[in-house]
Amino acid sequence: MELSNNGTAQSVTAENAVASIILSLACLVGVPGNALVIWIILFSMKRQRSPTVMLILNLAIADLFVLITLPLWIYAFVHGWAFGEAFCKILTYLVHCNVYVSVFLITVMSVERFMAVVYPFATQRWRRNEVIVKVVLGVWVLAFLFSVPALIYQVMGIDAEGRQQCMCQKFDSDEQEILCTVMQVVVAFVIPFSTLSTCYLCIGRKIKRMTFKTQNRTGTVIGSVVIVFLICWVPHHIVNLVSIAALMTKSSNRTMSERLNEVYDIGVLVTGALAFLNSCINPVLYAFAARNIRREFRLSALARLFDQLTHSVKEESRKESTDTTRKDISVTMEEMHSVQHI
């Protein structure tokens, strides 16, 4: 859809301003934050990097690649796209790739934490660096594949002020556009968020039965990841669903379709910018968690946090499983003792 479809120049200017402010904040916070996370993991960690930390490292790299493109988008919102259609396609493709990578890595981290807590012994078979390297490689490959539509269909568009913009896709048919949009919503949100919710619900139930001191901090970090993911991505995908509804009612109810297009044109810039915030929030969450380890934030505290993310949940689950095993053995021995007496 083109930005010029319905809507006034004033509304688009306001949307551009809001989107530019959001993207500027994301860039100012996210670029140094993710760069700091990468530097600490690569050069400041004393212990060998664990699978969990490897996932955090790749997540920070993906988020950083997304965020360093923001100055170009901000410039385009203010002055129009001046870098040509080929660069528009390439940059959009890379942004889609890294967004998919970020979402997939958060999902893998959720599954890894779920396995470490609920099935601590079974997870030892695959919770090795060589396995995680293969998983991460698979994540990047899948992201490159799912982003192909952005490379094919991305074109230049004209906004309400007559400026060229790199923010619209031209499909061969409405059915093709519906299919691509539905795929994006399902793959980039429905499946990951369903997995996140299921994993953290099970983790929450497991943690409630634990009695160790670190459970409150672990629960806070877990809940924060889910909430931030929800806040940043739900509005963007709701707008995508609005565009699907507009296409589906195009022939049956033209007036409704045009109104839905207006809603889409108004919301697409702001919600898209809000989705970028997800790439800058994770370092902030790490910083707050590290500050809870020490009352003042230090780089050593952040490095210590990454070590704890590697070992604390796993150790808690091991202790919990050991206690459960001991209880089972005790019950079994009592039953055998009773049988012998009989």
User: What number is the average pLDDT over the span 57-74?
Assistant: 88
Establish if 136 belongs to a structural domain. yes
Quick check: 23 and 276 in contact, CB under 8 A? yes
Question: C-alpha angle 76/77/80, rounded to 5°?
Answer: 45
The whole-angstrom separation of Cα 154 and Cα 149 is 8
Average confidence score pLDDT of the chain: 76
Could you tell me the sign of the dihedral formed by the alpha carbons of 304, 305, 309, 314, in that order? Answer: positive
- Could you tell me the CATH number of the domain that includes residue 222? 1.20.1070.10
Give the total number of structural domains in the chain. Answer: 1
Nearest to 78 by CA among 140, 4, 159: 159
Establish if 77 belongs to a structural domain. yes
pLDDT digits (tens, 9 = 90+) for 5-32: 334 344 456 666 777 788 888 889 889 9
Q: Which domain holds residue 243?
A: 9-326
Quick check: 42 and 6 in contact, CB under 8 A? no
Top mean-pLDDT range of 38-47, 100-109, 201-210, 279-288: 100-109
User: What number is the average pLDDT over the span 261-268?
Assistant: 83
Establish if 273 belongs to a structural domain. yes
Establish if 246 belongs to a structural domain. yes
Establish if 199 belongs to a structural domain. yes
Could you tell me the sign of the dihedral formed by the alpha carbons of 163, 165, 170, 175, in that order? Answer: negative
Structure tokens at 77: 């919102």
pLDDT at 217: 54
Q: How much is the pTM?
A: 0.77
pLDDT digits (tens, 9 = 90+) for 51-61: 777 888 898 89
Establish if 338 belongs to a structural domain. no
Q: What pLDDT band is residue 323 in, cutting at 50, 70 and 90?
A: very low
Establish if 161 belongs to a structural domain. yes
Quick check: 171 and 153 in contact, CB under 8 A? yes
The whole-angstrom separation of Cα 258 and Cα 116 is 50
Evaluate if residue 204 carries a pLDDT over 50. yes
The whole-angstrom separation of Cα 156 and Cα 164 is 6
Structure tokens at 337: 């003792």
Establish if 171 belongs to a structural domain. yes
Evaluate if residue 186 carries a pLDDT over 80. yes
